[in-house]
Chain A
Amino acid sequence: MSAGSAVTGVGSTGRAGGGVVRAVARRPLGVVCVAWLGLLVLACLLAGWLGSSPQEQDLEAVYSGPSAAHWLGTDQLGRDLLSRVLHGGRVSLLVVGVALAVHVVLGVVLGLVAGYRRGLVDRIVSRLADLLLSAPAVVILLVVLAVFPHNEAAAMTTLGVLSSAGLARVVRASAIRVREEPYVAAATVAGLGTVRILVRHVLPAVAGPVISLVSLVAGSALLVEASLGFLGLGTQPPEPSWGGLIADASQAIYRQPWMLVPTGGVVAVTAVACALLGDVVRDATDDRATGEPLSWRRMRTRVVARESREPAALCLLSVRDLTVRLADGTPVVDGVDFDVAAGQALGLVGESGCGKTMAVSGVLRLLPPGATVDAATITFDGRETLGLTEREMVGVRGRGIGYIGQDPVASLDPLFTVGDQLVEAVRHHTGATRRQARAKALELLAAVRLPDPAAVAARYPHELSGGMAQRVSIARALAGEPRLLIADEPTTALDVTVQAEILDLLRDLRSRTGMALVLVTHDWGVVADTCDTAVVMYAGQVVENTGVAEVFAAPRHPYTEALLAANPAAAEPGSRLPVLPGAVPAPGHWPTGCRFALRCPHVTTECVAAPIQSTSDTAGAVSRCLHPRAGART
C-alpha cells in the first residue's frame, strides 16, 4: 500500500468514528476527559498570549505559592509556573502527538494490510510485530538518546514505532474478522478496489478498538516523555518541559512542596484522562452488546396465575390463556391454548416473530430477563406448574420436560467431552454414582443410534458433525427420562438427509418410550412427516389447531391457507407463488381486531371491529376466524 492511501486511511478513521464520537459525548465521564484534554491543548497553543514569558524571573517571589500575580506559584528563580507548565506542554504534547501519529499510521496500515491481504505479507508483518513486542523499549530509547542527544522527537518517534506492534495486532485481528463478512465479498464483486474496501468497510469496523487502544498509549507516551525530562535526557533547561519541571519540584520538595502539585498534577491528570477516555470509548462501542445490568430479582421470570380454567382431562400438558410479556411490557404471546396428549406429537407452526419459541419458553419458564408469564393454567402431568417455585420448576425441566434447540453444537459446552456432559446430566436427574451414570450415558448414546457410543463419548462437541451433535443433545434431553420433549426447530440447521434421520429417530423414541413431542418449526414438510396435530400461530395468537391430515387437506384460517400456498413444494413449477401483502405485525403493534385482517383476502368490516375469539367446530378443530375457509381450498 502506498503512503498516499495510508493518509486517506487515517483520515477516514475520524469520519468512520462519528458514531463513536456521539456515543462518547453522551457519557459525562467522556465529556469531562475530552474537555480537559481539549482545554489543555488549547491553553498550551495559546501559551504565548496568556500571561508572562516562561523565562521571566521575579526574584522577589521565588518559591511562592499560588498568588494573584502567579496563579500556580513560582519556581526557584521566581518564574511563573503556569506559564512554564503551558510552554512545557507545547513541547511535551507535540512529541506525544508525534509518537501517537507514528503509532497509529504504522499500526493501522500494517494491521490492515496484514489482516486483509493475509499470505506472505501477513507472515512478515506478524513476525515483525513479534520482534518489536519482545524488544526492550527502555534500552532502545536510551540508545536512541545516546545517538541523538536530547532529541525528544527522535525518542518519541522510536516509541511510536515500538508500540505500533500492539496496535497492528489488534487491527489485524479485526480486519481478518471483517474480511470474511459477506458485505466485504459483495463489495469485491461490486468491483471496488482494495483501498476503497479497506476505507469504506474495514476501517469503520476497526475504529472502536483503535481509538480505545490509542488513548491508552497516549497516556503512557506522556509518562515516558515526562520520565525522559525528569532524568534530564529530554529538553534542556532553561527551556521548560513537564519532566524537567517535576525534577525541579522534587529538588525543592522540603522548601516548597506546592511546586509538585501543578507540575506533577498536570501530567497525572492528563494521563488519567487519556486512560479513562479509552475506557469510555470501549464501553461506548460495546454498547449494543451489553444492556443495563439487571438485578437478580429482575432476572427471574414473574409468574401470574389468572383465575383458573379447567385444564383438559387426561392430557400430559394443558396450556390455557398463556400470555408472555417481555421486560418492557410488550406482549409476545397472547392467550395461547393447546393440549398435548401422552405420546402425541404436536407441531407449533408459524413464521418468525409469531411467538412460537416464546410460547414454549413460557411453558418451560426459560424466558429473557424480566419477562412475565401470565396464564390460566399450565398443567403438566396432572400438576399445576404456575404455583411452583423456581426450584421446583428445575425438577420439572429435564425430568418431566426435555428440551432441544436449533443449534446443537452451540447447546453443548465446548470445554467438556460428550461423555462428561451426559454423565453430569444423568447424575443431576437420577443421583446415580459416577460409574452408573457413565453406563447410562453410553446407553443413551446407543438409544439415539450413534454408532460406537464409547468413541463418541470421548469426543468434544467441535469434533461432531451437526447431525451427531443433535443426536447427542437429544441423548442429553433423554437423560431425565422426560415424558415430553420440546424441540425448537431441531432440524433447521441440518441437511435434508440428516434431518430425515433425526425425524425418524424422534418418531422411534416416541414409539419406544411413549414420550410426547412439541415440535416448533416453520417447515410444513416436517409437520407432515412427524406431527399428529398442528397449532398455527400468528402474531402471538393460535389461529388454528387441527389434526395434521385436516390442516393440509382443508385449512380453516386464511393465514394457514396462505402459508401452505406460499410453499414452493406445493406449487406448480415455474408458476407465480401466491403471496400475502405486508408483513407479520410486530409485537406491540398488533391491531385490535383480527391480527391477520390487513393481509387477508377475505376481510370484512366485522373482522376489524373487535378481537376475534377462537371457536371450535364439531370435530374439535379450533380456528380464530369469522369466515373459516375449511373446504374452500382446492
Chain B
Amino acid sequence: MNLLEIAGLGVRYRDHQALTGVSLAVPPNTTVGLVGESGSGKTTLGRAVLGLVPVAEGVIRLAGRDITHLRGRARRGLSGQVQVVFQNPYLSFNPSRTIGQAVAEPLTLAGLRPAQLRGRVDAMLDRVGLDRSAADRYPSRFSGGQLQRIAIARALMPGPRLLICDEAVSALDLSVQAHVLNLLADLQAEQGLSYLFITHDLAVVRHIADRVVVLRRGEVVEAGPVEQVCSTDPDVPRHPYTRALLAAAPVPDPAEQARRRALRAAPAQEGPVPCES
C-alpha cells in the first residue's frame, strides 16, 4: 500500500486555482521528487498534505486514512507521521528559543520528563552530526548548513514515516548540500523513511529521487521513474515541457552546454580575445 496517496487534488486561493486534479503516490521507503518552476504549485501541494492550506477538492490519504480535511486535535495527531523541512534554514527557527527547545518541540505533547527529552534531543543531534552543546545555543550561532541539519533533526524527533522536503537543499552551498543529501539518504536507509522532495533543481532530483512528478501551472504533466523522466537520452519519449526543463538546466560540462545552446538556437559566437599577461 502506498504511504501517501493523492487523488484529484484541487487547491484554490482567492482568485487563483493553484492545483487542479493532481494525483500522485508515495510508496513506503521511496523518494518522490516533485519538480516545477515557480508558480507550478509544488509548494502548495506540500502545504496541502501538511494541512496548512484548505483543500477544495480531491482526497489525500496517509497510510490508507483520509486526512484531507482533518482539523484540530486529529490533525495534530498526524505530527508523528508527517513532518517537514523548509527551504530557508534561517527562518525555520524562532530566534528567541534555543536549538534544544526547537528540536524538542514536536515531542511537547508526548509527556516526557525533561531528562528523557534531553536524552532524545542529544541522540538526535548526534545522529545529524552536531555537537550536543548545540542544544543550549540560539539559532543565530549556526550556519545555514548546520541549521538545516537541525531542522531535519527536529522533523525526525516524532519518528515520522513521511518527510516533506520543501526546497530543503536549495539555499545551501554545493559542499553543504552534498552533506545534507547524504544525510537524507542515510536516514532513509536506516529508518525506511519516504520523502516527498519538492525542488526546482533537476540535478538534485535525478540524484536522490526514485520517482519524479513534474508540475506545471498546478497540473501534473509527467510522472514516472526517475531514469525515464529525467533521462539524458533525448530519444526517450517525454513531455515537451519536461524536455524543455531538462534542456534549460545547465550542466557542468562546457561541451554539453555548447550543444544545448545550439539546440536552443542561439546565434553563432565569436571566440573571446585572448588575454596576454
Contacts and interface: CB of A to CB of B under 8 A. Distances in A.
B277 A204 contact: no
A441 to B, nearest CB: 24
**Interface of B: prevailing SS:** helix
A314 B275 contact: yes
Interface in A563-600: 563-564, 566-571, 573-574, 576-580, 583
Contacts of A568: 177-178, 181, 203-204, 206-208
Contacts of A529: 250, 254, 257, 261
Nearest to B38: A495
B254 A528 contact: yes
Contacts of B173: 351-352, 522
B252 A570 contact: yes
Interface string B265-277: 0110110111111
Contacts of B191: none
Interface in B188-235: 200, 202-204, 206-208, 226-227
Contact of B92 (A182, A523, A570, A571): A182
A545 to B, nearest CB: 10
Contacts of A564: 252
B84 A186 contact: yes
Given A189-B50, A192-B76, A522 B174 contact: yes
A341 interface: yes
A387 B275 CA distance: 24
Interface string A320-353: 0000000000000000000111111100000110
B272 A345 contact: yes
Given A182-B91, A496-B202, A497-B244, A577 B250 contact: no
B105 A187 contact: yes
Contacts of A77: none
Contacts of B38: 466, 495
Contacts of B272: 341, 343-345, 532
Contacts of B96: 16, 19, 204-205
Contact of A567 (B52, B143, B203): B203
Contacts of B112: none
A114 interface: no
A511 B269 contact: yes
B17 interface: no
Given A191-B109, A548-B254, A566-B177, A495 B37 contact: yes
B174 A528 contact: no
B178 to A, nearest CB: 4
Interface string B86-120: 11100111101100001001101100000000000
A304 to B, nearest CB: 23
A527 B251 CA distance: 9
Contact of B175 (A525, A552, A566): A566
Contacts of A549: 254-255
A196 interface: yes
A188 B37 CA distance: 26
Interface in B236-254: 244-245, 247-254
Interface string B53-81: 00000000000000000000000111110
Contacts of A293: none
B136 to A, nearest CB: 16
A573 B250 contact: no
Interface residues of A, number: 75
Interface string A510-543: 0100000000001111111100100000000000
Contacts of A503: 250
B86 A185 contact: yes
A504 B258 CA distance: 11
B185 interface: yes
Contact of B251 (A528, A548, A576): A528
A116 to B, nearest CB: 14
Given A567-B174, A583-B143, A186 B92 contact: yes
A193 interface: yes
A312 B275 CA distance: 8
B82 interface: yes
Interface of B: 37-38, 47, 50-52, 76-80, 82-84, 86-88, 91-94, 96-97, 102, 105-106, 108-109, 143-145, 151, 154-155, 158, 173-179, 181-182, 185, 200, 202-204, 206-208, 226-227, 244-245, 247-257, 261, 264, 266-267, 269-270, 272-277
Which 5 pairs, one residue from A and one from B, show the smallest C-beta to C-beta distance? A525-B250, A191-B79, A312-B277, A569-B203, A341-B275
Interface of A: 16, 19, 181-183, 185-193, 196, 200-201, 204-205, 312-315, 318, 339-345, 351-352, 466, 495-500, 503-504, 507-508, 511, 522-529, 532, 548-549, 552, 562-564, 566-571, 573-574, 576-580, 583, 620
